[in-house]
Amino acid sequence: MTLTSMETRSQMASLVREFVRRDVEPVVAHYENEDIYPQELVDKMAEMGLFGIMIPEEYGGLGLDYTTFALIFEELSKGWMSLTGPLGTHHILAYVIATYGTDEMKRRFLPRMAEGVVRGGLALTEPSGGSDMQNLQTSAVRNGEEYVINGNKMFISNGASGNAFAVLARTDKTAQPPHRGISCFVVEKPAAGFTVAQKLDKLGYRGIDTTELVFDNVRIPTENLVGEVEGQGFSQVMSGLEGGRINVAARAVGVATAAFDAAIKYAQQRESFGQPIAQHQAIQLKLAEMATNIEAARLLTYEAARKKDSGERVDLEAGMAKLFASEMCGEVTMEAMRIHGGYGYIKDYPLERYYRDAPLMIIGEGTNEIQKLIIARRLLRKYQI
């Protein structure tokens, strides 16, 4: 991957920061409170080229690196974390196609994805499966020059608004271990039998649709099998999720930073016992810990991004970044709410939104319990005696 220059990185950060200030902050409360999909904001992100962040320039994308990608996600999340939703899974699909797809598949999908005409998502999780993707039940059976897909997927970001999905399905029920019987397909809308069953009403991450998808005898051409080789889907998607965990860690850093900024400003304005509460030692201790933990999470996140840019395997580093940053975000948003007191609990202030958004990073892109298992297994291999 070509590394992005510092100048370009700075320009992208400034562009996104201005977009958040000008277009997002004035309307976020309306979209969030009413749980309305921010179509106008998403379309503006497409005009800015953000649907092509990681897509190679030869296919019309910006061809930026993961460090810049993480920076963009951090800046967006400072304004409204939900806006990273349409981009996150889109870029995992783009990565899977760009890395493992045939030349024909790349030409067919990547230019339209870079433009934002095709907006991607991941259809991995199932109603009864959760994190246990190796035992998924969705099936894909070859029938001549087509595959027939049957099954249900749950908790799918962009399920209603997206129009192309990386779908994991079992093509070999007898394979051992089970993940060797899983393949990855790109399924586009509209398609007969492919429906959105329900939109899920969530605690946080509002505005962005999270749905159940149903595949009822959905027929797709064999060319939509990623790499045109069965049994590779699990490893293809796991590689893509390394980048997904980096983007979730960056989201957590962004939300925590916004919460800290609100808290330290409020602490200098709010008075009690004749002085700003920022002068009370109890508040100072909270601010010191919050700022230190945010910086530690940021360093972990950008180190994982740097290694991903260098072509190294980063499931260990991405898992650590995602684990630490998301747990940190939950703690910092709670501490920021405590500093605000009762005002942090009401919707007139954005603190309650930061607090509601924080759990997504803890349970999204693989729960933190799963992250700990991934980290431990990689460490045991690394330090094997």
Kindly calculate the radius of gyration of the chain based on its CA atoms and give it in whole angstroms.
Answer: 21
Model confidence at 375: pLDDT above 70: yes
Regarding whether 111 and 12 lie in a shared domain, the answer is yes
Q: Which domain holds residue 378?
A: 235-382
User: What digits encode the pLDDT tens for the residues 224-239?
Assistant: 999 999 999 999 999 9
User: Helical H runs in the chain?
Assistant: 6-19, 28-34, 39-47, 66-80, 85-100, 103-115, 233-269, 281-309, 315-340, 351-363, 368-382
Q: What is the CATH number of the domain that holds 140?
A: 2.40.110.10
Residue 348: what residue type?
D
Residue 1 lies in a domain: no
Regarding whether 170 and 82 lie in a shared domain, the answer is no
Regarding whether 253 and 351 lie in a shared domain, the answer is yes
Split at pLDDT 50, 70, 90, the class of 131 is: confident
Backbone angles phi, psi at 221, to 5 degrees: -70, 155
Regarding whether 169 and 105 lie in a shared domain, the answer is no
Regarding whether 224 and 239 lie in a shared domain, the answer is no
For residue 215, give both structure tokens.
């595949």
For residue 17, give both structure tokens.
């920061």
Per cent of the chain over pLDDT 70 is 99
User: What digits encode the pLDDT tens for the residues 1-16?
Assistant: 568 999 999 999 999 9
Mean pLDDT of 291-312: 97
Residue where a domain stops, chosen among 79, 101, 118: 118
Regarding whether 148 and 204 lie in a shared domain, the answer is yes
Beta carbons of 359 and 246 less than 8 angstroms apart: no
- How far is the C-alpha of 16 from the C-alpha of 28, rounded, in Å? 15
Regarding whether 139 and 48 lie in a shared domain, the answer is no
Model confidence at 130: pLDDT above 80: no
- Report the first-to-last Cα separation within the chain, whole angstroms: 34
- How far is the C-alpha of 11 from the C-alpha of 8, rounded, in Å? 5
Q: CA nearest 318: which of 249, 256, 382?
A: 249
Residue 205 lies in a domain: yes
* pLDDT for position 139: 98
Catalytic center residues: 365
Q: What is the CATH number of the domain that holds 28?
A: 1.10.540.10
- How far is the C-alpha of 197 from the C-alpha of 338, rounded, in Å? 39
Split at pLDDT 50, 70, 90, the class of 133 is: confident
Q: Ramachandran region of residue 49, left (φ > 0), alpha (ψ -120 to 50) or beta?
A: left
Residue 95 lies in a domain: yes
Split at pLDDT 50, 70, 90, the class of 311 is: very high
Residue at token pair 């230190």: 292
Beta carbons of 354 and 259 less than 8 angstroms apart: yes
Regarding whether 369 and 261 lie in a shared domain, the answer is yes
Whole-number mean pLDDT of the chain? 96
Residue 276 lies in a domain: yes
Residue 110 lies in a domain: yes
Residues 6+ apart with CB under 8 A from 147: 140, 141, 169, 171, 185, 219, 220, 221, 222, 224, 225
User: What digits encode the pLDDT tens for the residues 183-218?
Assistant: 999 999 999 999 999 999 999 999 999 999 999 999
- How far is the C-alpha of 326 from the C-alpha of 15, rounded, in Å? 26
Regarding whether 110 and 145 lie in a shared domain, the answer is no
β-strands 194-199, 164-170 pairing: unpaired
- How far is the C-alpha of 27 from the C-alpha of 317, rounded, in Å? 36
Residue 181: what residue type?
G
User: What digits encode the pLDDT tens for the residues 43-74?
Assistant: 999 999 999 999 999 999 999 999 999 999 99
Residue 79 lies in a domain: yes
Mean pLDDT of 86-105: 97
Split at pLDDT 50, 70, 90, the class of 135 is: confident
Residue where a domain stops, chosen among 67, 90, 118: 118
Specify the number of domains making up the chain: 3
Residue 277 lies in a domain: yes
Regarding whether 272 and 194 lie in a shared domain, the answer is no
> pTM value?
0.96
Residue where a domain stops, chosen among 83, 118, 153: 118
Q: What is the CATH number of the domain that holds 374?
A: 1.20.140.10
3-state SS, residue 313: coil
Regarding whether 181 and 92 lie in a shared domain, the answer is no
* Chain CA centroid to CA 83, Å: 10
Cα distances (Å, whole numbers) of residue 245 to 85, 121, 318: 13, 15, 6
Per cent of the chain over pLDDT 90 is 96
- How far is the C-alpha of 154 from the C-alpha of 374, rounded, in Å? 23
Cα distances (Å, whole numbers) of residue 267 to 141, 225, 284: 60, 55, 9
Residue 85 lies in a domain: yes
- What's the angle, vertex CA 119, arms to CA 113 and CA 123, rounded to 5? 120
Q: How many residues in total does the chain contain?
A: 385
* pLDDT for position 1: 59
User: What digits encode the pLDDT tens for the residues 143-186?
Assistant: 999 999 999 999 999 999 999 999 999 999 999 999 999 999 99
Regarding whether 126 and 101 lie in a shared domain, the answer is no
